Amino acid sequence: MADVLAPDPATLLELNQKLDKLSTQIEFLTEEAARQKRRQQEWDELKDDLIPIGNDLFRMTVVQLEEIQQHVQLEDILRLIKRLARNTRNLEEMLDQLEGLMELTTDLGPLSRDMFMRVMTQLNDFERKGYFVFLQGGLDMMDRVVSEFTEDDVRQLADNIVLILQTVKEMTQPEIMTMLRRSAAELKDDEPVNTSMLSILRQLNDPAVRRGLTKTLNVLKSVGD
């Protein structure tokens, strides 16, 4: 019986390497086939889920279009879609501006709350000091003026407003106000006054009394004129 030739070690090593590479390729193909099968199953499941939704959406769209078909035609919808497609960039810019505005609103939120609290604090101070009561009194006074004065009165007031302001300006001079204050003090004085002729004649010897009497007579003359 002939001797069996022993295989070459180099040949065995090369053969084992080829077998390992083949096993790796078979394992990769098996895993790839499994992944493809899983993706196909997921797609089939998604398709099975979307088909009823698509059918419902189609039926709903048909119903809605039937309701508005008297007002909107298919051409109008297509024209609107084309217009939206042409203005895609404008819509994107508008959305960017809207996002920027939302971010600005978020950033200004704390400032707005702080400003609101300051305004509320200031209003509270105004109320405590009586500004609102004074303002309400002014409004009531304006209501009385509006209800008491006629249109002719308002027109005459407008025609003479310059003269009225000039008169008020003259009346508010320091010497006039001092005289009015002293006169008011004399009128409030409850002490008995000697009204005899002799007392009056004695007072006429006072230069201030004679000066006041002269001014009073000049005022009466002006009234008479």
Question: What pLDDT score does 1 carry?
Answer: 42
| Helix or strand holding residue 163 (H, E) | helix 161-171
Per-residue pLDDT of 121-161, as tens digits, reads 888 888 888 888 888 888 888 888 778 878 888 788 788 88
Binning pLDDT at 50, 70 and 90, where does residue 221 land? Answer: confident
Q: What is the pTM of this model?
A: 0.30
Length of the chain: 225
pLDDT in tens, 26-42: 888 888 888 888 888 88
pLDDT band at residue 2 under the 50/70/90 scheme: very low
CA dist., res. 38 & res. 36, Å (int): 5
> What's the rounded Cα separation, in Å, for the pair 220 and 80?
88
